[in-house]
Structure 1
Amino acid sequence: MPKRVDHRARRALIADALIRVAAERGLEAVSLRHVAAEAGVSAGMVQHYFRTKDEMMAFAVGAVAENVEARLAEAGGPAPDAPPREAVGALLGQLLPLDGARRTEGRVALAFHAYAAVRPAAARLNSGNERLRGFIADRLRAARAEGAAPPGIPEPAAAAGLLALVEGLALHVLTGQTAPEEADALLDAHLDALFTRP
């Protein structure tokens, strides 16, 4: 009987190896050979699942997003009917590099952004940001409709600004310019400004 192969598990194994290589050595060290060595598999196996570096990157970005969602779920996450500010705060708090796992993911996210910035074909690596902006804008719209948030700049622009703030704070934490607790407090202050009842 032929051996059954769990292709999703193999792709995840390779993506986890890519994340470790990118976080520890930077994207310049990411190659089929290095990722294969880190995963403990052959370069041929990596090529079987990912024909190009861009494909590997896109899958790994998705794996990082799944890690964030899994952590939210493990922590009890915000309930589906949670107040909008609580839901947005819980999600964005997972994007700040405040512990070991989030620091690793933050270094990888930073490397991916730099990679996508110089490779137009890799722009899809940032597609998860559109989903995040949409989620934040929807929660802010709901809060305003309930009278639980003051009117202000349009929700899509406010969401884009808030996400840019978090990405900037993450960069500052990773480079030692801002203490993790200060970044957390700054995020709270901005959430209060957006979601506090007038």
Structure 2
Amino acid sequence: MPKIVDRRQRRDEVAAALWRLAYREGWGAVSLRKVAAEAGLSLGSVQHYFAGMDDLLDFAVGGVLDALDERLADQLATLDDPRHAHETVLRVLRSMIPGVVEDPSAEPVPDTVWQTQVMAWLTVVAKAVQIPEMSARLSAGSGRLAEAIAAAIRLSAPRRPLDDTLRDARGLLSLVEGLLLQLARRDIGPAEASAVIGRFTAAVFTP
């Protein structure tokens, strides 16, 4: 009896292989044949799921966008009830940095994992520059998150003007994006990025 393969799962596996290969060898070395080998599949098997590299990249980028949307929904849900506003915002911002481990007793995330995640995020951002719909999707998500963070900031400082809290929230998100670029260049690691976020978040919440 032939083995039944979940189509979505197999496509996700191939997309993951694409990101690993691109991180390890650079985009110039990526080909459908090499992606197939990375995924442990034949070229023909991969071609059964994807028409070519453009089709595969579009699917892989879409997967990252879906993951970002899912994470955004989780973050907004967390900020809906910010009883401990400072700690909640800090946790949300740190969750945006691949490789940050909040629990000191937990195993650290392997370098190759978080570095690949950062590269995937940067690829999506670069692609969004060329695709207005994708850019609008990212901007809308960032705007909703900034408004939620601003609302949390106002809980700790009710008299602070709305415009100021929104600027602070956007500043914190810009800080995270800048740290992601430094992570991509390997100028810093997740632990240092986490410490920087802690310092600037504390400054925003200091009366």
Structure 2 counterparts to residues 1-198 of structure 1, below 5 A: 3-51=3-51, 52-62=55-65, 65=68, 69=71, 81-82=81-82, 83-98=84-99, 99=109, 100=111, 101-117=113-129, 120-121=130-131, 124=134, 127-128=137-138, 130-144=140-154, 146-148=155-157, 150-151=160-161, 153=163, 157-178=167-188, 180-194=190-204, 196=205, 198=207
Kindly state the Cα deviation for residue 12 of structure 1 after the two structures are TM-superposed.
1.7
Kindly state the Cα deviation for residue 33 of structure 1 after the two structures are TM-superposed.
2.5
Segments of 5+ residues of structure 1 without an aligned counterpart are 73-77
Per-residue CA deviation, residues 90-124 of structure 1 (Å, 9 max, x unaligned), is 2321333544232321133234434544xx13862
**Given the two structures, how large is their TM-score scaled by the length of structure 2?**
0.67
Distance in 2 of aligned mates of 1:130 and 1:44: 39
User: Which residue identity does 2:114 align to in structure 1?
Assistant: R
Query: Contact 2:36/2:46 (CA < 8 Å) preserved in 1?
Result: yes
Kindly state the Cα deviation for residue 132 of structure 1 after the two structures are TM-superposed.
4.3
Count of equivalent residues: 188
Per-residue CA deviation, residues 40-93 of structure 1 (Å, 9 max, x unaligned), is 223444344444244233234147648x95xx9xxxxx6973434333322321
Distance in 2 of aligned mates of 1:188 and 1:43: 46
Distance in 2 of aligned mates of 1:133 and 1:63: 17
Task: Provide the identity percentage.
Answer: 33
CA RMSD of aligned residues (A): 3.7
Distance in 2 of aligned mates of 1:6 and 1:62: 21
Distance in 2 of aligned mates of 1:85 and 1:46: 47
* CA gap 1:26/1:48 in 2 versus in 1, 3 angstroms: same
Counterpart of 2:131 in 1: which secondary structure? helix
**Given the two structures, how large is their TM-score scaled by the length of structure 1?**
0.69
User: Which residue identity does 1:168 align to in structure 2?
Assistant: G
Distance in 2 of aligned mates of 1:143 and 1:14: 42
User: Which residue identity does 1:27 align to in structure 2?
Assistant: W
Query: Contact 2:150/2:166 (CA < 8 Å) preserved in 1?
Result: no
Structure 1 runs of 4+ off > 6 angstroms?
none
Query: Contact 2:96/2:176 (CA < 8 Å) preserved in 1?
Result: yes
Segments of 5+ residues of structure 2 without an aligned counterpart are 100-108
Counterpart of 1:23 in 2: which secondary structure? helix
* CA gap 1:31/1:136 in 2 versus in 1, 3 angstroms: farther
